[in-house]
């Protein structure tokens, strides 16, 4: 499973990138707001750092305007993925942009039928939002499993990009189900390394080692 980082924080991306953890990046208008940066500038900086797909989201609501924004965004770098919302206009923009050879991420997906129609429109990535479904007491992971089954039934090439990932358990479940990609905030990716028994075991080893009175480097 590929790891995308869900942030516009360049320093946080760079830290994970050093460890080879970053296969791509996703941003959205809320993340751009949080960064306090200009969308074109920060996206360019991210693309210079990460060679994998970098999603930049359009903000227009009409297909023609989304297409114009998408054309502007793809000028930033060759690894830009235009992110469009899962609306009828978004699907129209998706078709035009993918036909022109650009990568498109269809976002804000909350149902299998939405994922199906995005694949029909030629989406490169579909972004089902796991956490936001969980927030309203609908099992977000069940949606990932259902989309996996439907895409496999018909051999759709659209990649499942599990989004709105909020916990390490979400990541493990996505990997078990077979999502192609998951995108998570840096803190969630870092949390993958944690386990209470690792901390407990290390604490014991450290205490026992001190009792030996030995050193390795001396
Ligand atoms: C995905 O592309 C979105 O940017 C993101 O995963 C949304 O996550 P949230 O629901 O935690 O805001």
Query: For residue range 34-49, what is the model confidence (pLDDT) as tens digits?
Result: 999 999 999 999 999 9
pLDDT for position 151:
98
Confidence of residue 218 (pLDDT cuts 50, 70, 90): confident
Mean pLDDT in residue range 181-197? 97
* Catalytic (active site) residue 83: yes
Pocket of ligand 1 (CB under 6 A): 6, 26, 28, 107, 127, 129, 131-132, 163-164, 183
Q: Could you list the residue range(s) of the whole structural domain that residue 38 is in? A: 2-212
Residue 134 inside a domain? The answer is yes
Residue 155 backbone zone (phi > 0: left; psi -120 to 50: alpha; other: beta) = left
30: CATH: 3.20.20.70
Residue 133 inside a domain? The answer is yes
User: Are 50 and 185 a contacting pair, CB within 8 Å?
Assistant: no
User: Are 124 and 105 a contacting pair, CB within 8 Å?
Assistant: yes
Q: Give the number of domains in the chain.
A: 1
Decide if pLDDT at 60 tops 90: yes
Residue 35 inside a domain? The answer is yes
Decide if pLDDT at 191 tops 90: yes
Residue 217 inside a domain? The answer is no
Residue 96 inside a domain? The answer is yes
Confidence of residue 88 (pLDDT cuts 50, 70, 90): very high
Decide if pLDDT at 127 tops 90: yes
Catalytic one of 2, 34, 72, 83: 83
Residue 218 inside a domain? The answer is no
The ipTM of this complex is 0.97
pLDDT for position 182:
98
Residue 37 inside a domain? The answer is yes
């Amino acid at each position: 499973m590929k790891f995308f980082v869900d942030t516009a924080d360049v320093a946080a991306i760079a830290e994970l990138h050093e460890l080879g953890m970053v296969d791509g990046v996703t941003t959205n208008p809320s993340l751009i707001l949080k960064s306090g940066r200009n969308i074109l500038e920060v996206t360019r900086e991210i693309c210079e750092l990460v060679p994998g797909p970098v999603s930049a989201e359009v903000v227009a609501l009409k297909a023609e305007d989304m297409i114009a924004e998408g054309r502007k965004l793809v000028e930033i770098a060759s690894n830009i993925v235009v992110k469009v919302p899962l609306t009828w206009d978004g699907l129209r923009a998706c078709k035009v942009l993918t036909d022109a050879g650009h990568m498109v991420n269809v976002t804000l997906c909350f149902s299998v039928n939405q994922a199906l129609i995005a694949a029909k429109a030629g989406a490169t990535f579909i972004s089902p939002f796991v956490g936001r479904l969980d927030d309203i007491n609908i099992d977000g992971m069940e949606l990932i499993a259902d989309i996996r089954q439907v895409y496999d039934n018909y051999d759709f090439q659209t990649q499942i990009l599990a989004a709105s990932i909020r916990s390490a358990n979400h990541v493990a479940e996505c990997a078990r189900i077979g999502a192609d990609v998951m995108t998570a905030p840096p803190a969630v990716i870092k949390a993958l390394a944690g386990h209470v028994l690792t901390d407990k075991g290390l604490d014991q080893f450290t205490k026992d080692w001190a009792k030996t009175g030995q050193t390795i480097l001396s």
